Structure 1
Amino acid sequence: MALIQCDFFSETLGLSTSMTVILPQSTRSQIGMEGKAAGGKHPTLYLLHGLSDDHTIWLRRTSIERYVAHLGLAVVMPAVHRSYYTNMAEGLNYWTFVSEELPALARSFFPLSSAREDNFAAGLSMGGYGAFKLALRRPEQFSAAASLSGALDAYRSNGLNAEEVRRIFGEPGSTASDNDLFVLAEQGAAQPALELPKLYQCCGTEDFLYHDNIRFRDHAARLGLDLTYEEGPGTHEWGYWDEQIRRVLDWLPLRK
Structure 2
Amino acid sequence: MAFIDCHFYSETLGVSASMYVILPQLSQSQIGLKSKVHGDKHPTLYLLHGLSDDHTIWMRRTSIERYASELGLAVVMPAVNRSFYTDMQSGYKYWSFISEELPRLAQSFFPLSSDREFNYAAGLSMGGYGALKLVLSHPERFAAGASLSGVVDIARLADDPERKADMSLIFGDTSKLEGSESDLFHLAKQLSDAKTTAPRIYQCCGTEDFLYKDNVRFRDYCRTLDLDYTYEEEQGEHEWGYWDQKIQSVLRWLPLPSQ
1:32-67 Cα offsets, whole Å, 9 max, x none, are: 111211221000000000000000000000000001
Q: What's the secondary structure of 2:247's corresponding residue?
A: helix
The residue aligned with 1:211 is 213
Is 1:118 aligned to 2:118, yes or no? yes
**Amino acid across the alignment from 1:113:** S
The residue aligned with 2:34 is 34
The residue aligned with 1:236 is 238
**Amino acid across the alignment from 1:205:** T
Question: Take 2:218 and 2:226, find their aligned partners in 1: how far apart are those partners?
Answer: 12
Question: Take 2:13 and 2:25, find their aligned partners in 1: how far apart are those partners?
Answer: 32
Is 1:249 aligned to 2:237, yes or no? no
Question: Take 2:243 and 2:157, find their aligned partners in 1: how far apart are those partners?
Answer: 19
Is 1:177 aligned to 2:159, yes or no? no
Is 1:220 aligned to 2:222, yes or no? yes
Is 1:190 aligned to 2:205, yes or no? no
Query: More deviation in 152-161 or 241-250?
Result: 152-161
How many equivalent pairs are there? 255
Question: Take 1:224 and 1:196, find their aligned partners in 2: how far apart are those partners?
Answer: 9
Deviation at 1:2, TM superposition (A): 0.1
> Do the aligned residues in 2 keep the contact of 1:157 with 1:209 (CA within 8 Å)?
no
> Do the aligned residues in 2 keep the contact of 1:200 with 1:227 (CA within 8 Å)?
yes
Question: Take 1:58 and 1:156, find their aligned partners in 2: how far apart are those partners?
Answer: 27
Deviation at 1:144, TM superposition (A): 0.3
Stretches (4+) displaced over 2 A? 155-160, 172-176
Two-structure CA RMSD over aligned residues (Å): 1.2
Question: Take 1:125 and 1:113, find their aligned partners in 2: how far apart are those partners?
Answer: 27
Q: What's the secondary structure of 1:228's corresponding residue?
A: strand
Question: Take 1:156 and 1:45, find their aligned partners in 2: how far apart are those partners?
Answer: 28
Report the TM-score when normalising by structure 1. 0.97
1:94-133 Cα offsets, whole Å, 9 max, x none, are: 0000000000000010000000000000000000000000
Question: Take 1:183 and 1:205, find their aligned partners in 2: how far apart are those partners?
Answer: 25
Question: Take 1:174 and 1:153, find their aligned partners in 2: how far apart are those partners?
Answer: 13
Q: Percent identity?
A: 63
Question: Take 2:238 and 2:52, find their aligned partners in 1: how far apart are those partners?
Answer: 12
